[in-house]
Amino acid sequence: MATTAVLRFSTEGRPSSKPDFLEWAHSNQIDETNEGTSQEEFERLYDEYYQDKADILSNRGHNTNVDKITRVNTIDNDRYRIEQIRHRWDRVQRVQDVIRYPFLVPAATKYPFGKFVQSPKLLELCASLVARFDLRDSLSYFDGDLAKFAANQYGLKFCKARTSLIVPFFFISRTERSDGKLNYKRDLIIGKLTSDPDETNTNISAAFADTEKLPDSKFKRSLEEVGEAAEGVADEIKDCDEDFIMVRINIVGCSYVPEDDPEEEDTIKTTYHANSLIINLATKSAVYFEPHMKSTDSTMIPYGGVQKCVTQYLKSIDSAFTVRDVPTACPEIGVGKVQGNDGLCASWSLYAGLAFMLNPGIPETSITDTISLFDIARMLYCAFYYTPLELSPSEMRKMRSRMQNRAIRRSYSLVEILHYYPRFFNRRQFYSRHWSKDAIEYLTKSDWTETLEKFSAPA
């Protein structure tokens, strides 16, 4: 009987509690009153049910990234995927009606959102602006203006640090001969950061002494800025008079492999990545967000080492500071990463940081369940057409000389700036860097009706 099928189903390597599916099954009389429902049929209905939920999550613009099996497992990849979606669906349902989403699209739009997401060049331009470590003198507070725009939609006030904390790391590979064999050893160097710039610079100089042999590069120039940046962030944290402050973490890394043959060039590879840190100054607790959602070191980025470095840095400012959570992907409970191969780390970090601040009572992994490329596109859309961007005095002078007799405002939207001052940016650096084919395919869906209704602000 079907009851037996339900019991067998719940004991074969799966959690026994499936309230959402079992409620649906009961409402469709797939229970003890429906004799003849086999185990195989019951499992097929289960898979179809949660495949429909995966489609709903995608249509709502939520996170549907799932992991594949990377270890020996008794279930196949399809079933592994379904189980991840089931967990995620259950979490999303619990927060669906209470979660606050940053960057609601204004109901009366200046430019159709659908056209915006179908233009890779517009997406590329906006994403690159968020990603850049340095905007020179112009739009020096671009990400701060953007963050405050989103928070103001809900009346939230917070501090957005103008200074980014720079965390450098250095991988150096060495070769050692032992018992006639050539062994490769890889050392990781991460400097210790404190709120004292002189102490930080001393630590960095000692830790990264081996980089002196490297040619001049952005990485070496970044090492010279670490102490000043650490002091600047510490001062902004101490001076913030709101409950929250968001800090951008710029991870700057270099991997060095010396060649044994003097005629061969050494291999040098640099890495740039962005994270965010959201500090609740009232509780002295922080959430650290890494868009790859990893907390252990890899061959490319020492995620765990960087996070430990930032935690120690916070304690140098105030010993009461603690990093409360580092949201981490966990397939067993359906928590998936948010960033793929898209190069949008700064955008992911900014958006997720705002989502955490707007939803202090919701678990961070429930929030990452709802974050997808649609959210990043919506954020960039608001940046391009709606966010008032603060101009520096020098840029106001440039605008005044170009616009002649026109009135000059303190702030403009990004599209206005590009219209009035088309040479404002070097556009060549914006192309073919960030958006993968999968991302463009995702964003150019033909029908965003349901999603736009959910993520639109009242007229």
How does pLDDT run across 13-24, given as a tens digit for each residue? 333 345 566 666
Judged against a pLDDT cut of 80, whether residue 434 lies above it is answered with: no
Q: How far apart are CA 65 and CA 338, in angstroms?
A: 7
How far, in Å, are 65, 86, 175, 227, 351 from residue 368 at the CA level? Answer: 11, 15, 41, 32, 10
What residue ranges do the domains of the chain occupy?
A: 2-95, 133-383
pLDDT at position 176, please? 64
Q: Read off the pLDDT of residues 43-94 as tens digits, 9 standing for 90 and up.
A: 788 888 889 999 999 988 999 998 877 665 556 778 888 889 999 999 999 9
Helix (H, G, I), strand (E, B), or coil: what is residue 109?
Answer: coil
Q: Are strands 267-280 and 285-289 parallel, antiparallel or unpaired?
A: antiparallel
Provide φ and ψ at 38, rounded to 5°: -80, 165
Q: What is the mean pLDDT of the chain?
A: 82
Helix (H, G, I), strand (E, B), or coil: what is residue 125?
Answer: helix
One-letter amino acid at 329 equals: A
Q: Read off the pLDDT of residues 300-315 as tens digits, 9 standing for 90 and up.
A: 899 999 999 999 999 9
- pTM for the full predicted model: 0.87
Helix (H, G, I), strand (E, B), or coil: what is residue 95?
Answer: helix
Q: How far apart are CA 52 and CA 50, in angstroms?
A: 5
pLDDT at position 424, please? 53
Residue (of 67, 66, 71) closest to 54 by Cα position: 66
